Each structure stands twice: as C-alpha cells, then as structure tokens.
Amino acid sequence: MTFKLPPLPYDLSALEPHISEKTLSFHYGKHHHGYVNKLNELLVDSPLASKDLETVILETSGDAQKAAIFNNAAQVWNHTFYWNSMKPAGGGEPGKDLLKRIEKDFGDFDGFCTKFKEAAITQFGSGWAWLVEDQGHLKILKTGNAETPLTHKGVTPLLTCDVWEHAYYLDYQNRRPDYLDIFLKNLANWNFAEQNL
C-alpha cells in the first residue's frame, strides 16, 4: 500500500442537512477510496510508487500512456482538497483579507458567487470548479474529469467544488445549481482558502 486514504476532516454526518451522510459515505468511502486503491494497483512495480502524490500527478500529466495513473492520482488529490474546501456551518463571506482580494478581482462577493456558480454549472459532464490564485490575481477555473490546476504553472488552488454527479445526485438529483447555492451559502471553508493563499 503506497498511498492511503486521508481521514475525512469531519464526521460523515457533519455536513447534514446540506450533504447527507449517505452521499458522504459513498463519495468518501467508495469513490475516493476507490481512486486510492486503483492508484496503488496501477503503481505496483512502477518507479512512481516511491514518489509523493503531487509528483506522480505532475509527472503523468499530459502523458496519454499514463492517463490511468494520472486520473486516479489527481482524483485522490482533488477529493482531499474538496473535503477540506467544506466545513460544517461554512459558507457565506470569507474573512476580511480574502474578501478584499475577492472584491478587487470580482467586483463584490455576489459577483464572485455568480461567476463561481456559472463555471460549475457550465462544466459539461464531470469535473471541478476552482478558486485559484494566478500571478497575484484570484481567478475561477473549471476542469474536466480528473484535471486539476495543480498542473497549471504558477497557479495555486484555493478552494474547489466537485461537480461530478456522484457529489450531489443522491441529495439534489439533477439540480446542480441548487448544490452550488448550498456549497456557497452553507459549506465553503474560507479558512482553508485563506491558508492556501
């Protein structure tokens, strides 16, 4: 066992009623855990097995022959980042310093929310919405499938929302916009975003 499933930073029921225990137990216990197991299987007898997760992601990114390793490694990393991007009784506006940066780059907090939600909703199919820092500016990105801004040079991920259907379907069915509203209003962990800045 090279890579381990990191502990969830809260109980499986801690995000209720916004994200149910059922969703978290599947999402963390089956999906996230599944990516860890698959990655370990793929790395048996590979020199990459001795590297850290970030290095595995960077060294396999864009290499079609190593797409399966990249996909599973990036999904392990993205999910750990996502769990930390939420907390019980989160959401609403961030603290003063980050709020100022958001106002500088998005006009105001509502403007940020509108753009973040739009990126998340318009990500066709599976993927992720991100708040990142890029050359001194805050930006919103969306990535497809397992793609992660970790591989974008000079870009620091601050916060993410998983928009794969498995993240919200049990609780919100096809209503991805409702899930995004709740993420921003009740779940976003701005302390985590501030720590990443």
Three state DSSP letters for 43-67: CCCCHHHHCCHHHHHHHHCCCHHHH
- Judged by CB under 5 A, does residue 147 bind Mn ion? no
CB of 128 to Mn ion, least distance (A): 9
Please, what sign has the CA dihedral across residues 38, 42, 44, 47? negative
Give the range of 13-21, 83-91, 115-123, 166-174 binding Mn ion by CB under 5 A.
166-174
Residue 105 is a binding residue for Mn ion (CB under 5 A) = no
Does 190 help bind Mn ion (rule: CB under 5 A)?
no
- When the beta carbons of 167 and 184 are compared against Mn ion, the nearer one is 167
Give the shortest CB-31-to-Mn ion separation in angstroms. Answer: 5
Total residues in contact with Mn ion, by rule CB under 5 A: 3
Amino acid identity of 20? S
When CB distances to Mn ion are compared, the closest residue is 162
Of the candidate spans 63-71, 98-106, 122-130, 158-166, the one that interacts with Mn ion by CB under 5 A turns out to be 158-166
157, 81 contact by CB (below 8 A)? yes
Q: What is the CA radius of gyration of the chain?
A: 16
Smallest separation (angstroms) from Mn ion to the CB of 167: 5
Least separation in angstroms between residue 162's CB and Mn ion is 4
Q: Which two tokens stand for residue 178?
A: 């409702």
Q: Nearer Cβ to Mn ion, position 133 or 162?
A: 162
Query: What does the angle CA 38 – CA 42 – CA 44 come to, to the nearest 5 degrees?
Result: 120
- How many angstroms separate the CA atoms of 64 and 66, rounded? 5
Q: Does 106 participate in binding Mn ion (rule CB under 5 A)?
A: no
Under rule CB under 5 A, residue 164 binds Mn ion:
yes
Distance CA 127, CA 102 (A): 23
**For residues 80 and 94, which CB has a smaller minimum distance to Mn ion in the complex?**
80
Q: By C-alpha distance, which of 187, 137, 195 is closest to 167?
A: 187
List residues near Mn ion by CB under 5 A: 162, 164, 167
